[in-house]
Structure 1
Amino acid sequence: MEVIDSRFLLEYFFYDKEDVGLKTSKHLKHLLEKRIGTLPTIVIAETIRYVCEKPEI
């Protein structure tokens, strides 16, 4: 079982480099297909907090 952390989600949603986005996408797809990942509620809360506080560019 792999625990997804907030750093991973922030890279997945906000990283500008295409290769990083592709890598995280593949990894997330693998975790979902194999049903071997878990997403703690604290990670969801941290990610939402970051999105809400993120300054507009």
Structure 2
Amino acid sequence: MLKYLSERGVRTARHKSEPEIDRAVQLHREGLSRAAIGRQLGFDGKTITKELRGRGRVR
């Protein structure tokens, strides 16, 4: 289904931009939880965790 939609130009997922990831790192430094960061930026908390792990910010 996703392939069908993407072939027709339908966006199925919102991709994270570098500024959004940078903002997530900053909010994490300020003490916000990953779930709160996700809500603020419009992503799932698990997505935020993955990005923070990629930057060495969380285990």
The structure richer in helix per residue is 1
TM band (smaller chain):
0.3 to 0.5
The structure richer in strand per residue is 1
| Bigger Cα Rg | 2
TM-score with structure 2 setting the length: 0.32
